[in-house]
Structure 1
Amino acid sequence: MNWIKKTALIATIVLVSGAFVYGISTETKNKITHEGTTQFFPTSIDFAGEAAPLQMNDVRERLDRELLINANLDATTLLIIKRANRVFPIIEPILAKNGVPDDFKYLAVIESGLVNAVSPAGARGVWQFMPLTAKEKGMEVNDMVDERYHLEKSTEAACKYLLEAKAKFGSWTLAAASYNGGMTGVTKQIEMQQVESYYDLMLNDETSRYVFRILALKEIMKNPDKFGFNVSLEDMYVNLPSKIITVDTTITDLATFAKSQGINYKILKIHNPWLRDKKLLNQSRRKYEIVIPLSGY
């Protein structure tokens, strides 16, 4: 067999076998790739109750782009769907309590993939806060404690920002866009371009795609089977049964503290990623709540 035939055979095997990775069949993959605009494109879609104007040609194309891209990011999107089963039950009641629409959980999805990501610019956590903004929103950020990694507290901080943005723009869609482009940046573009809707604005590439990425992940995650992501409940990631230990004193050695709670240092850090050092100095006697898993770790 000459090298041309060998190369063609290997390529065919890789394509066929790779199409079944992460639960997506060859047939479904082809449908997503080649028929996405007809079979999988929604007839209507909204963000936080604000309808996207799909009658506009560029709006349809921009949404179609993000649907196709994210439907074909097999491993990445599948992992997000699995993580959502663990993260959304924590985020959702905090959004509801603060009067922030449930759709903003998908903003967290595109910001971080629902993990404590670190950006090149220094943003951290599921909600990707920069240090100064985090402090302005009431989070503690230092070498020992960084509450950007605290899911509940960072979600509360995100709600503060989003409520301020909604009050400023009068639109949840523009509030979402400003999470990426900044309130000042979005305001300047609205004034310069003399329009009021996100969908009428010409913005930088990242902010122009931002809301469409949210809409695409919302559509895919609400209808995973339609996009070829067939995940059983048993395969989803879960929150483990746990208890909360409140401490208001210094912990000189977190490894020793973990052992005293029946776990180890690794498990302590996994469930309390906001603890950034090997100890917790607490001269101010601040109260910290530490999560201790009870089983399944």
Structure 2
Amino acid sequence: MPGSEVRPLAIPEPEPAPTDHDPWAEAPAYLVEDNRQVQYFLDRFTGSRREVVGRWLGRAGGYLVMIRETFRAQGLPEDLAFTAMIESGFQPLAVSRAGAKGLWQFMAATARRYGLRVDAWVDERLDPERSTLAAAAYLRDLHRQFGSWLLAQAAYNAGEVTVARAIHRTGSTDFWALARTGFLRRETKEFVPAIQAAILIGRDPARYGFEVGDAEAAEVERVAVPPSTDLRTLAAAAGVSAGMLRALNPVLVRGVTPPRTAWELRVPGGTRAGVLAALAPRPTRLAASGSVGRAAGGAHVHVVRPSDTVSGIAQQYGVSVGDVTRWNSLGQPDRIRPGDRLRVAELR
């Protein structure tokens, strides 16, 4: 500072570089209560529910680092990541009886409110990264509204109106006091201490006899594909596992990309070139021929691509769906496959 005495700069000794980054061992920023409700779930998770919790923690390795990094970037306690453990068991495709979906068990209306696309073609509640961003925003808003992470978690489960009504009727903003009243459902009363017990286990799994393996993220590439691309058809044409393609793109609820717009598809690492080759147009024009099954008079023949539909092909060549169906004896127009050769003009 100006005017202060100049002193030699003290250079601290360099700290040894960490060997392995351990996200489980980071300093917690969330207060866990030491009470009988939390202890009840801790005993249950390490006792009768041990096998189930072990499976949850086994899946956590694939998502925990991403969730904690997202929460840290959004200014949330990293330990809130274990909310997903109680919501879904870290199962990104989980679906509740009420229709909540994904890691964070969003209902459709709340998901849309926080920017997730949910429609007949796409359900981003099933996207771990995007749904985690939405969950962070929702939890942050709830904390701003109620001023407590415990109340924020209660509202995440029960809804803002329910928690606000409980506070209004009791005059208390202490979650544990509210949990002793009849203004919260049993599910909500148990939701918060269950998360706290999960956090204790997650901070030190070995202490409680759990092992959590590191899950290696699958190598993924991205490819822009045309509208209405069928994943199964594309997989067959590109020599890619259809199951893997569906697993990498769980948001595509019909297994088909949305109509009227291109879509960025996730494909297994090392397969991008093959997918692009399968998508490349291969127009063919046959010379005049009198042989059976060949178009005569120079008629056009269309080679089916993975993204093609009969209606789209018909529109492309200015003919009707009925024409294409009749000329090619298609019993079921939706059963065309990549590589099929369809006549798209009448024989003359």
In structure 1, runs of 5+ residues without a counterpart are 1-45, 55-59
Residue number among 100, 107, 115 corresponding to 1:123 in the alignment: 100
Q: Please say if residues 231 and 246 of structure 2, whose CA atoms lie closer than 8 Å, have aligned partners that are also in contact.
A: no
Per-residue CA deviations over 1:147-191 (Å, capped at 9, x if unaligned) read 110011111111121111111111122111110011110011011
Report the more deviating stretch, 110-119 or 139-148.
Answer: 139-148
Give the alignment's TM-score, normalised by structure 2.
0.64
Equivalence map 1:185-196=2 (5 Å): 185-196=162-173
Residue number among 142, 156, 163 corresponding to 2:133 in the alignment: 156
Name the structure 2 match of 1:239. 217
Q: 1:146 to 1:181 in 2, by over 3 A?
A: same
Equivalence map 1:59-208=2 (5 Å): 60-72=35-47, 73-115=49-91, 116-201=93-178, 202=181, 203-208=184-189
The CA distance in 2 between the partners of 1:185 and 1:205, in whole Å, is 13
Q: Please say if residues 220 and 266 of structure 2, whose CA atoms lie closer than 8 Å, have aligned partners that are also in contact.
A: no
The CA distance in 2 between the partners of 1:133 and 1:162, in whole Å, is 12
Per-residue CA deviations over 1:178-216 (Å, capped at 9, x if unaligned) read 100111100110111111121221332111111110111
Report the more deviating stretch, 89-98 or 132-141.
Answer: 89-98
Q: 1:47 to 1:178 in 2, by over 3 A?
A: farther
Q: Please say if residues 124 and 148 of structure 1, whose CA atoms lie closer than 8 Å, have aligned partners that are also in contact.
A: yes
Report the more deviating stretch, 168-177 or 257-266.
Answer: 257-266
Cα offset for 1:96?
Answer: 1.7
**RMSD of the TM alignment (CA)?**
2.2
* Bigger helix fraction: 1
Cα offset for 1:114?
Answer: 0.5
Report the more deviating stretch, 83-92 or 145-154.
Answer: 83-92
Name the structure 1 match of 2:282. none
Per-residue CA deviations over 1:113-172 (Å, capped at 9, x if unaligned) read 011211000001110011111111111112221111001111111112111111111112
Q: 1:100 to 1:195 in 2, by over 3 A?
A: same
Q: Please say if residues 50 and 172 of structure 1, whose CA atoms lie closer than 8 Å, have aligned partners that are also in contact.
A: no
Q: How many residues align?
A: 239
Residue 184 of structure 2 is aligned to residue 209 of structure 1 = no
Q: Please say if residues 82 and 202 of structure 2, whose CA atoms lie closer than 8 Å, have aligned partners that are also in contact.
A: no
Q: Please say if residues 58 and 212 of structure 2, whose CA atoms lie closer than 8 Å, have aligned partners that are also in contact.
A: no
Per-residue CA deviations over 1:212-253 (Å, capped at 9, x if unaligned) read 101111111222222222x374xx54322222x142631432
In structure 2, runs of 5+ residues without a counterpart are 1-26, 272-348
Report the more deviating stretch, 253-262 or 79-88.
Answer: 253-262
The CA distance in 2 between the partners of 1:93 and 1:139, in whole Å, is 20
The CA distance in 1 between the partners of 2:157 and 2:45, in whole Å, is 19
The amino acid of 1:64's aligned partner reads Q
The CA distance in 2 between the partners of 1:232 and 1:110, in whole Å, is 17
Identity %: 31
The CA distance in 1 between the partners of 2:189 and 2:229, in whole Å, is 48
Q: Please say if residues 47 and 215 of structure 1, whose CA atoms lie closer than 8 Å, have aligned partners that are also in contact.
A: no
3-state DSSP of counterpart to 2:257: coil
